[in-house]
Amino acid sequence: MRDVWTSLDMTRRPFNALHVYHDFASRSGAMNMAIDEALLEAATVPLIRFYRWNSPALSFGYFGKFADVANHAVERDLVRRWTGGGVVFHGDDLTYAIVIPQNDPVFSESSRSIYGAIHAALRNALVADGEPAELAPGVVDPGAVIIDRGYSCFANPVRADVMLNGRKIAGAAQRRTRRGLLQQGSIQYSDLRNGLSERFAQALSASCSEREINRETLDRARELAEQKYRADAWLRKR
């Protein structure tokens, strides 16, 4: 019986078409999380958004405990993600969000298969640049609910995380709704100015088109940032 892990071919591009957003404006943690959610609400075509942070930041998973990260509040912008997973330190990384709307065929695949296919594309982009990247062979299902205990996401590789020279350099977490699937990931790689984002997007789809975030999406994101991601009730939810 074929493992669900291989239901998406790791050697082919996962998406027939992909909208690409290089959104490197200066944004807070709350606004970055809010834009990802707003894109999930509005997307009709799979998309990837690349972004950075306007100051050193720390994001932690939906199920994480605020008490486990509170001591970082002095030097970092703290934000709770809508997706799961552990603690991720942001500042020198390349962060991305992939949205797969429910009308796209890939949405029907398992979360594990999608996670693996996306990371296989990233691995391929790194290999094309001469890096000996590989996927971690771990046994944890990244689609499963993970109860956080303040752990660093990059100290705990799970199956299909991207490894380079024995070190995890890319991990991600997902959220699936009736509208679609959101995968938020971080790439902790030293050479980020060599076109990695372009190669990654092209490894995901042979038909990429550049887009800019429209006013309606930004307005919705500002609303989500104010009402949700900046709110103490969200940040200290657990």
Catalytic residue annotation: 153
Comparing CA positions, the residue from 38, 90, 95, 94 lying closest to residue 213 is 38
Strands (E) located in the chain? 18-23, 47-51, 57-60, 77-80, 88-90, 94-101, 134-135, 162-164, 167-176, 180-187, 208-210
What is the Cα–Cα distance from 115 to 172, expressed in whole angstroms?
Answer: 8
Strand bridging mode 77-80 / 57-60: parallel
Q: Token digits for 10?
A: 């790791």
Cβ within 8 Å of residue 125, ≥6 positions away: 196, 199, 200, 202, 203
Amino acid found at 50: F
C-alpha span between 136 and 143 (Å, rounded): 15
Contacts of 194 (CB under 8 A, 6+ apart): 129
Q: Give the HSE-up count for residue 237: Cα atoms under 13 Å, Cβ half-sphere.
A: 15
Q: Rounded distance, CA 156 to CA 201, Å?
A: 25
